[in-house]
Amino acid sequence: MNKNKIENIVIVGGGTAGWMTASLLAKVLGKTVNITLIESDKIGIVGVGEATIPPIVSFNKAIGVDETEFIKATQGTIKLGIEFNNWYQDGDSYMHAFGNIGKNFPFCDFHHFWLRHQQNTNNSSGSSSGSTPSYWDYSLNYQAARYNKFSPLRSIPNTNLPGLTHAYHFDAGLYAKFLHKHAVGLGTKRIEGKIVQVQQNHDSGFIESVLLENGTAVTGDLFIDCSGLAALLTEKTLSTGYEDYSHWLPCDRAIAVPCEKVEPIEPYTRSTAHKVGWQWRIPLQHRTGNGLVYSSKHMSDEEAKELLLNNLDGKPLAEPRVISFKTGRRLKQWHKNVIAIGLSSGFFEPLESTNIHLVQTAALRLLDFFPHNGINIEEVEEFNRQSKVELEGIRDFIILHYKLNNRGDSEFWRACQRMEIPESLLNKIELFKKTGKVFCKPDDLFTEIAWQQVMIGQGNIPEDHHPLVDTLSKEQLIDLMASLTTLINRTVDKLPSHDEFLQLLK
């Protein structure tokens, strides 16, 4: 396809995507390639994207970032899961807690034991609110989140049961600044300036250079498009095309506003459904991030602003900002000599905080496929195939939240109940309903435990359980479940509060 050696990488854009990609490439390939990042202060960054998922912990380690320094620099907090309020129906609540639940058994996931235990205690409500025992009584992450506790914990003391699994909330602007310093320290060259023109090769269509407003041309062999929703290279120049997901993920606007913080600082994100979408709440050390996600077909920006401002914990600290988006994915994440990473490659709405994670996996995949001796079509196609598979797994998981609602309060939610969903998702929902089984592929981001929580939390309670559970007598099952709750509660009791943990970092 193109046999030129790749020596000069140009990253267009200095938001979270640009600086994460620069940090990883500079850390791993820094001695063999030149990395230049172009960003425009005039344009700025999207400035949202403050909640993450656990793999970011290993990403930060891989690029050589110290956790304490990172939390301090970004006003970061710990995230143990996402609390979903009113998603199944008003007044209902459950959590997608990270990490394990209960105890692992061969051939049979723990929730089957819980299901049987529920039947025994004649209580079939799956919700974490109200009835006990709930599925989340057996989640260390959930219990720690509920009591605002945290300390790094690899395993439950004196057992082989896993400890806490965490991610972070952080200030997106501060994270970009922190990574900027880090990537420049690793040898990335930064150029400030607005790109006004893109030069392509006449024959191949490959990008040769970008021209800045001040007349400087920046040439490169490989271009990484991290220009955010502008998609400057991948779409505006190469017209790569977009697969629209809005018939499944109907929200197309967000309105964001920070407000004064409240104490204690909760170690989890809140997602609260409203009549045509949902609201996020992300607690940071210095403020709380808030945003309303909605469908512009069903709600005006003015109504959204009013709804958001009426549902803040504290005084707003800035003017609310409206951001428009279209959910979907770029048809080819890699096209010619351009790889789109971040918002330029598509956007799933922020519900399960997957977008920063997708920056991470795209940058890691680029390392796997790095075309040092020139670009091969086979590599490009495999890269794109893997990205598509990854995105479709995540897409299904996010659609699940909309589909399994029991809210009849608006046409928005009723349409979500009725919508036709991808067959892959339909099969998962039906299999779980009949048998309690859910299967994920080894590379899927969301594990069986994540799927089980959303299914159970949103009313898809299995009609059957795995037969292995019946090898235990009723008494043995009661003992097993009681010993697990005792262990978890005892462990949570001994943890310091999340606030104390943050204080210790100062």
Closer residue to ligand FAD (CB): 249 or 356: 356
Compute the least distance from the CB of residue 37 to ligand FAD, in Å.
9
Site track for ligand FAD across 353-392, x = CB under 6 A: x-xx--x---------------------------------
Compute the least distance from the CB of residue 233 to ligand FAD, in Å.
10
Query: Is residue 251 part of the contact set for ligand FAD (CB under 6 A)?
Result: no
Binding residue for ligand FAD, selected from 228, 283, 371, 462, defined by CB under 6 A: 228
Q: Which two tokens stand for residue 220?
A: 């490169």
H-only helix segments in 192-310: 301-309
Compute the least distance from the CB of residue 82 to ligand FAD, in Å.
10
Q: What is the DSSP string of 105-133?
A: BTTB-HHHHHHHHHHHTT-----SSSSSS
**Cβ atoms within 10 Å of 136's Cβ, excluding its own:** 25
Binding residue for ligand FAD, selected from 11, 27, 33, 40, defined by CB under 6 A: 40
Query: Is residue 225 part of the contact set for ligand FAD (CB under 6 A)?
Result: no
Give the long-range contacts of residues 385-391, CB within 8 A, separation 24 or more.
387/333, 387/334, 387/345, 387/362, 388/329, 389/441, 389/443, 390/358, 390/361, 390/443, 390/445, 391/329, 391/346, 391/348, 391/358
Q: Is the peptide bond before 133 cis (omega within 30 degrees of 0)?
A: yes
Compute the least distance from the CB of residue 469 to ligand FAD, in Å.
37
For residue 343, which amino acid is it?
L
* DSSP structural state of residue 80: -
Binding residue for ligand FAD, selected from 25, 95, 115, 226, defined by CB under 6 A: 226
Compute the least distance from the CB of residue 292 to ligand FAD, in Å.
9
Closer residue to ligand FAD (CB): 221 or 349: 349
- Choices 42-50, 297-305, 327-335, 406-414 (CB under 6 A): range interacting with ligand FAD: 42-50
Of the candidates 308, 327, 363, 322, the one whose C-alpha atom is nearest the C-alpha of residue 20 is 363
Query: Is residue 230 part of the contact set for ligand FAD (CB under 6 A)?
Result: yes
- Alpha-carbon span 124 to 461, nearest angstrom: 8
Query: Is residue 43 part of the contact set for ligand FAD (CB under 6 A)?
Result: yes
Residues facing 169 on adjacent strands: 51, 77
Give the Cα-Cα-Cα angle 199, 202, 208 (nearest 5 degrees). 35
Rg of the chain on CA atoms, in Å? 23
Q: What is the dihedral of CA 127, 145, 357, 18, to 10 degrees?
A: 140
Site track for ligand FAD across 269-308, x = CB under 6 A: ----------------------x-----------------
What are the residues whose beta carbons fall under 8 Å from the beta carbon of 310, sequence distance 6 or more? none
* DSSP structural state of residue 319: -
Compute the least distance from the CB of residue 354 to ligand FAD, in Å.
6
Window 191-220: residues binding ligand FAD (CB under 6 A): 194-195
- Choices 34-42, 181-189, 303-311, 473-481 (CB under 6 A): range interacting with ligand FAD: 34-42
Binding residue for ligand FAD, selected from 24, 25, 29, 48, defined by CB under 6 A: 48
Query: Is residue 45 part of the contact set for ligand FAD (CB under 6 A)?
Result: yes
Residues facing 209 on adjacent strands: 199, 219
- Alpha-carbon span 247 to 47, nearest angstrom: 27
Binding residue for ligand FAD, selected from 99, 283, 342, 371, defined by CB under 6 A: 342
Binding residue for ligand FAD, selected from 24, 26, 29, 50, defined by CB under 6 A: 50
- The count of chain residues that interact with ligand FAD, using the rule CB under 6 A, is 39
Of the candidates 334, 356, 445, the one whose C-alpha atom is nearest the C-alpha of residue 19 is 356
Query: Is residue 445 part of the contact set for ligand FAD (CB under 6 A)?
Result: no
Closer residue to ligand FAD (CB): 138 or 397: 397
**What strands lie across the sheet with 328-330, from one edge to the other?**
242-244, 328-330, 346-347
What is the SS3 assignment for 84? strand
Site track for ligand FAD across 77-116, x = CB under 6 A: ----------------------------------------
Q: Phi/psi of residue 208, each to 5°?
A: -105, -40
Site track for ligand FAD across 309-328, x = CB under 6 A: --------------x-x---
Compute the least distance from the CB of residue 415 to ligand FAD, in Å.
22
- What residues make contact with ligand FAD under the rule CB under 6 A? 13-18, 38-40, 43-46, 48-52, 172, 194-195, 226-228, 230, 232, 254, 256, 291, 323, 325, 342-344, 350, 353, 355-356, 359
